[in-house]
Amino acid sequence: MNNKVIWITGASSGIGRSLAIKFANEGWQVAASARRENLLKELNDEKPNIHPFPLDVTDHEKCITVFNEVIKKLNNIEICVFCTGIHDPKSEKSLNLEKIKKIMEVNYFGTINSINSVYNYFKEKKSGHISMVSSVAGYRGLPAGGAYCASKSALTTYAESLYFDMKRFNVRVSVVHPGFIKTPMTDQNDFPMPMIKTSEFAANEMFKGLTKSNSFEIHFPKSFTFIMKVLKIMPNWLYLKLVKKGMKLINY
**Catalytic residues, which ones?**
148
On whether the CB atoms of residues 207 and 23 are closer than 8 A, the answer is yes
Q: Which of 237, 33, 236, 244 is nearest to 140 (CA)?
A: 236
CB of 84 within 8 A of CB of 9? yes
**Among the listed residues 61, 25, 39, the one whose alpha carbon sits nearest the alpha carbon of residue 53:** 39
Rg (C-alpha) for the chain, rounded Å, is 18
User: Are the beta carbons of 26 and 207 closer than 8 angstroms?
Assistant: yes
Alpha-carbon torsion 203, 205, 211, 214, what sign? Answer: negative
Angle between helices 146-167 and 110-125 (to 10 degrees): 10
* Sign of the CA dihedral with 154 first, then 159, 164, and 169 last: positive
- Residue pair 50/43 in contact (Cβ under 8 Å)? The answer is yes
H or E element: which one contains 225? helix 222-233
